[in-house]
Amino acid sequence: MNQGTTSLTDYLDVVRRRKSSLIVPFATIFLISAAIAIILPPIYKSSTTILIEEQEIPSDFVMATVTSFAEQRLQSIHQRIMSTSRLLDIINRFKLYEDLKRKLTTEQIVGRMRQSIKLETISAEVVDRRTGRPSSATIAFTLTFEGKGVPEKVQRVANVLASLFLAENLQVRERQTKETYQFLEDEMKKLRLQLDEIEARIAVFKGRHINELPEVFQVNLQALETTERNIERLNEQLRSLKEREGYLQTQLASLAPTDKLNEDMRRLRELRVQLANLETRFTEAYPDVIKTKEEIARLENQIAGESGRSDGGRPDNPAYVTLASQLASTQADIDSVKRQVGDLRRKSDDYRQRIENSPKVEESYKVMLIERNNTQAKHDDLVQKYMEARVAHGLEKEQKGERFTLIDPARLPEKPYKPNRLAIIMIGLILGAAAGVATVSVREYTDSSVRSAEALSQATRFPVLAGIPEIRTTADLRRQRRMRLMRIAVVFVVCVVGLVVVHFWVMDLHIFWAKLMRRLAI
């Protein structure tokens, strides 16, 4: 191209001259893009929104046993539903991907299904009631399914996926609460058996050391003190009884068992007193002294003889009998007191032994009591938790706890989600125009031909004397005719494609207008 060509006329001449280089790339790219937009199958998308609601009953009254966060439980449910068995059941039920079953394996088809399902969470800033600080929490999530084919089928698949999420959440929460209270029930039974075993060991230990337990230590101590006081009292009573026994024995020794013997003894005492008086005044040769001694000797022999006879007989002296009975009673009392003192001393030794053994017994007893109390505390705690778990299970069974609520069911897709045919055609139109301009520019700038007398005179700086007109042959005419027909065909195809584009555009406009009217009506 000549560097001096800068006017608009020159550009128009270039376009007229290079119209084939402009039209062919433009038409090729435009037709390819139009074919792609028309051939690509429509893909519909249906979405459903599920709200995560908190439990209706305040947590201060009923504490839920499901401790996992909603995000964690949601991902867990998502993994369960995205399992191969679940997705294959949905694929077979709705006859999805029938065109791919001969080309792809089952795993690849399931992978396509997984890629078509999207889960997006909806978060909001909430204030944590425990800490009082704002934090991000998941309050809802959107479940989307994309598929080609019939839009009603896409809608039904989206509804099935939403129902699976709702049912799986209920099953997971109910199963977790049921497993919780069943575990607590089993542990409670184990602790009950362990507690019964400890109680049995304590009962056996108590039966073996019933009098040495710490509870009866004060009783043993008081009993020991009482026993010691009773021993002292009985010892004092024993001393007084022994004094009385000696006194009675002395009194009894001065009496005779019978009255005659008693009279002889009284006469003997008088004679001895009389002899003593006589000896103080007279000598032993004095007749009265001799007579008195003889009579004393005779009475002593008589008394000795009567005393020997009276041992086998029964005393008839009332005073002697009275003193003898009192002495026998006193001696019986002494024997009884001695037996009581012996019994009390044995009891005292027994109480001392109990008191000495009490610390050792207390140590073992405390160990068993501590074990019993700890086990009882664990059992009571488990009973309380078990009751709370049963209430929580009822809460989940009645669907009063945290639950998923379907607030926006899947709707019937009114138009394909993709491909965006209008955008593909417009991109092809722009790329075709750019390709045509680029082709014309490259061919023009690489062409060094001179196409006018003015350009030739300017390039050689010589005047042009004459010009030879273009000579068109029959072949040139046929070629021009073919090019004209080709251009007409291209224009026809472009018009058809334009009509298709206008059709899609009108459809989108109609859908937009219908949506707007529905919103205005609402």
* Residue 300 located in a structural domain: yes
Q: Could you check whether the bond before residue 58 is cis, i.e. omega within 30 degrees of 0?
A: no
The least confident of 120-134, 146-160, 416-430 is 120-134
The answer on 438 and 360 residing in a single domain is no
Highest mean pLDDT among 48-62, 87-101, 242-256, 267-281: 87-101
For residue 442, being part of any structural domain is answered with yes
Task: Give yes or no: residues 33 and 163 share one domain.
Answer: no
| Paired sense of beta strands 134-148 and 43-53, if any | antiparallel
Residues 227 and 372 grouped into a single domain: yes
Does 244 lie in the same domain as 161? Answer: no
Structurally, how many domains does the chain consist of? 3
Residues 30 and 53 in one domain: no
Q: Which two three-digit tokens encode residue 421?
A: 């045919």
49 forms bridges with which residues in the sheet? 142, 408
CATH number at residue 143: 3.30.70.1130
How high is the pLDDT of residue 284? 77
The whole-angstrom separation of Cα 302 and Cα 143 is 143
Query: Do residue 47 and residue 29 come from a single domain?
Result: no
What global pTM score does this model have? Answer: 0.54
- Do the beta carbons of residue 141 and residue 50 sit within 8 Å? yes
Domain that holds residue 94: 43-170+399-408
Block residue for tokens 């690849």: 108
* Residue of 514, 508, 511, 509 whose CA lies nearest to 522: 514
Same domain, 73 and 132: yes
Residue 239's domain is classified under what CATH number?
Answer: 1.10.287
pLDDT of residue 145: 92
The Cα–Cα gap between 324 and 272 comes to: 27
Task: Tell me: do 262 and 313 sit in the same domain.
Answer: yes
Q: pLDDT for 357-378, tens place per residue?
A: 888 888 888 888 898 899 888 8
Lowest mean pLDDT among 131-140, 250-259, 305-314, 431-440: 305-314
Residue ending a domain, choose from 408, 442, 465: 408
Which residue, among 180, 160, 181, 169, has the nearest Cα to 409 in the 3D structure? 160
When pLDDT is cut at 50, 70 and 90, the band that residue 312 belongs to is very low
Longest dimension (CA), the chain: 234
CA contacts within 13 A on the Cβ side of 231:
15
Please give the order of strands across the beta sheet that includes 403-408.
117-127, 134-148, 43-53, 403-408
pLDDT number for residue 7 = 65
- How far apart (Å, rounded) are the C-alpha atoms in residues 460 and 248? 186
Whether 198 is in a domain gets the answer no
